[in-house]
Amino acid sequence: MSTIGFYITLPLLYLISLLPFPIFYIVSDGVYFLLYRVIGYRKKVVYENLKNSFPEKTHEELKAIEKKFYHYLCDLFLETLKTLTISKKEAVRRCSFNENTKRIFKELYDEKKSCILVMGHFGNWEWAGNSFSLINPQQLYVIYHPLSNKHFDKLMYDMRSRFGTKLYAMKDTMREMVRNRYEINATAFIADQTPSPEGAYWTTFLNQDTPVFWGTEKIAQKFNYPVVYVTVNRVKRGFYEVNTEYLVTDPKNTKEGEISELHTRKLERDIIAQPEVWLWSHRRWKYKRK
């Protein structure tokens, strides 16, 4: 999109963001109709991913999950826009941290331990990042892929950092973590992206051979930071709850592949429990194991 196109679009994005939530979700329903019923955005990819992941389910069961997923996807897109204008109070109300989760982060902070957070594209990870920075004492860093469009990249950067979260471009992660090693912080890795098959950790995930980035495991071992698994459960439309659990407290004493296997199994558990709130439109299985 050109610079002119971006600045024409920007007021519309802010207008949508300012809508009251009841109207906001009516707009989302309209987007769902266009995306799913009219355009059919990536329907083949979504259905194929669902069918291969849940071979035991009937066609009717898979289509029911598919429809719920598209409703969630439209909500997620618009909820991300909401971060342009949402208040701190509303952000915490809409994406809360349960008491056990707050206890874990306070415990780590009191022990002066930085940590690594590992999660998937599950629930609303954008809202979780904003709420984290409003609730917990650690400085949160999120690893991200810069967008090719510099205007939208800056917009997303500003939205994600609005309440104090800081971002690392993926290629700069190790250098930045070394630079900030004396600070008590938490670095969030979204670990269900698709790496190059050469050099990836291969495992079975949702009944399919799946490559997994080594980065989360290798960096955790290098810094010996405790690894915390994060789940962003969708409680109901427009409301999420963040749950966490210790995955590994002493990464240096783990076997090769152990951390990668652990966080993959946790995400698989969450997807099976609430399949409609994972990012099925992503071509997660485009590579085959040699």
Report pLDDT for 78.
97
Mean pLDDT confidence for 267-271 = 98
Identify the H or E element spanning 171.
Answer: none
φ, ψ for residue 81, nearest 5 deg: -65, -30
Buried b (16+ CB within 10 A) or exposed e, 175-208: ebbeebeeebbbbbbbbbbbeeeeebbebebbee
Report pLDDT for 7.
85
pLDDT > 70: what percent of the chain?
100
Report pLDDT for 4.
85
Please report, for residues 182, 198, 279, the alpha-carbon distance to residue 72 in angstroms, rounded to integers and kept in the order given: 39, 33, 9
What are the pLDDT digits (tens) for 195-216? 999 889 999 999 999 999 999 9
**290 — pLDDT class (breaks 50, 70, 90):** confident
CB 119 within 8 A of CB 190: yes
Residue type for position 32: Y
123/76 Cα distance (integer angstroms): 8
What are the pLDDT digits (tens) for 278-289? 999 999 999 998
What are the pLDDT digits (tens) for 82-129? 999 999 999 999 999 999 999 999 999 999 999 999 999 999 999 999
Mean pLDDT in the chain?
96
261/217 Cα distance (integer angstroms): 10
Question: Is 80 exceeded by the pLDDT of residue 1?
Answer: no
Query: Alpha helices, DSSP H only, in 33-87?
Result: 43-53, 59-82
